[in-house]
Amino acid sequence: MLKGTPVYPTWKAYLSSLLLPAHERLGFDSRAGDTFFDTQLRVVIIDLLCSLNHEACSSKAGSILEKWMESGSPDEEAETVVSPDYRAAIFCTAIAAGNRQHWDFMKQRLLNAVNANFKIDIVKALACTEDQELLREYVDGSITYIS
């Protein structure tokens, strides 16, 4: 709602300042001593930081996608590449910052995936691209698939 308004950068900086201490404490990866609340808070923090396109999330998302693309067996590693708890946020952020090669890679993972929840996360992520041509292809493909 605030995106595109003059106050958005200020709001983004303020919200980030509230989220970063918790993110620094919790990080991206689960730890052996995590409580239930740590796990749940991590999911919320990552989701919010990614929705703000914060550098901490953008760089992590990009590195996860690049590492996955470079693996020799991306379909075998598909469901373990990132925690299902925040997979949608990471995938969306990576696609939003990525290019056609990243988008095509994710589209191929969608076509090869078996797990329905994983497919849903990829379908949502493919729509996060900023590239108008890819969005048009996405919509056209969706209509063709439904027909």
End-to-end CA distance of the chain: 34
Average pLDDT, the chain: 91
Q: Of the given ranges (58-62, 82-86, 106-110), which has the lowest mean pLDDT?
A: 82-86
The residue extents of the domains of the chain are 8-146
Give me the architecture of the 8-146 domain, per CATH.
Alpha Horseshoe (1.25)
Q: What is the pLDDT of residues 107-127, one digit of tens each?
A: 999 999 889 999 999 999 999
Q: Which residues contact 101 (CB under 8 A, 6 or more apart)?
A: 69
